[in-house]
Amino acid sequence: MTSPETGVLASQTLETMLYSGEITCETPPVEGQIQPASLDLRLGNVAYRVRASFLAGQNRSVRDRLSEFEMHQIDLTNGAVLEKGCVYVVPLMEGLALSRDVSAVANAKSSTGRLDLLTRTITDGGEEFDRIKAGYNGPLYAEICPRSFSVLVRPGMRLNQIRFRRGQAILSDNALRELHAQSPLVDGPAVIEDGLGFSVDLKLPGTDLVGYRAKPHTSVIDLDRIGAYDPKDYWEEVRSDNGRIILDPGAFYILVSREAVHIPPSYAAEMAPYLAMVGEFRVHYAGFFDPGFGHAAAGGAGSRGVLEVRCHEAPFVLEHGQIVGRLVYEKMAAVPEQLYGAGIASNYQGQGLKLSKHFRNPR
């Protein structure tokens, strides 16, 4: 009998897992929930306002810990506002009964990250956010903390996603160099060290507009409303005529990578957290790049990566071309039957500097 392929599990395998019960659902999956290399997770019917973020910890359940930290419950059935600066735990409609050789990692969806809506997955017995051990059997919960904007949510909304893998399939730097030689991963020189490095673009052609900064006092954003909001009501434009900006402590920015990134169909990638030792800021809250990202655009010329940037304790000078993060590539266990951007209404294929899908295009 042939052993199953190692690597990130593709969309057709996720369909099988839903059918077999390895992924459980309170209600049947909806169209578009299965992505090329991940599954969108859906909010349940209730949110728990808690005093602080927490992990269940070894041999503890999330419900046990909720009894310690819960302040009150919020019925989401008819929609409810999650307020900026507060922490909520929401049981998800999906649960897991994984095989012993299958583990998982979760992450915020792109639109979630671009709203500075910190969303992390927690599990019973979990000792890390977003990391789910092989063989896990139990419920899933989303911890949600809106940090720039209060948001209106309803049951079934999909704020985070989960990716499954069998074994270890991360490409070494040498393997990444070989892949880049065969199928260029960026539209320029590849900086490869513990993954594929990427830099920030602060000299966009034909404009001095280089990014956006979240305004501190805004109205609520209804996450079901697409293209409904005027960016000027929620964002300040960030401009630069010298390829340099100063990040303010506590502020949240949307910037863009200088490189156009390409994810070949047989691979997936994850944006790794940036090292604090290189600056007082963090890049990345939504970190999955699906097979086919940048592959269909312009004949495979790549798509820019939008950067979600938060500055920490001290003002920090960010300069054009500065390395701000890295992509870790993994082999797929199989090529997905549906690639990113190929007929699945992917919102950010071929993107440049772009806010989340909730905002109208700036004029």
> What are the structural domains, with CATH classification, of the chain?
7-166 (2.70.40.10), 173-331 (2.70.40.10)
Cα separation of 250 and 83, whole Å?
17
200 in Cβ contact with 45 (< 8 Å): no
Angle 63-65-68 (CA atoms, 0-180°, nearest 5)?
Answer: 120
pLDDT at 187: 86
Element (H, E) at 13: helix 11-20
pLDDT at 340: 66
pLDDT at 175: 96
188 in Cβ contact with 207 (< 8 Å): no
pTM > 0.85: yes or no: yes
pLDDT at 279: 58
Cα separation of 146 and 197, whole Å?
29
pLDDT at 169: 86
Closest CA to 63 of 104, 95, 27: 95
List per-residue pLDDT tens for the chain, 363 residues long.
455 789 999 999 999 999 999 999 989 999 999 999 999 999 999 999 999 999 999 999 999 999 999 999 999 999 999 999 999 999 999 999 999 999 999 999 988 999 999 999 999 999 999 999 999 999 999 999 999 999 999 999 999 999 999 998 899 999 999 999 998 999 888 999 989 988 999 999 999 999 999 999 999 999 999 999 999 999 999 999 999 999 999 999 999 999 998 899 999 999 886 555 455 567 765 578 999 888 754 444 678 888 899 888 889 899 999 988 889 999 999 999 887 664 444 444 445 788 999 999 876
pLDDT at 302: 72
Element (H, E) at 70: strand 70-75
Closest CA to 312 of 355, 252, 240: 252
**What would the two tokens of residue 67 be?**
């009894």
Cα separation of 114 and 135, whole Å?
32
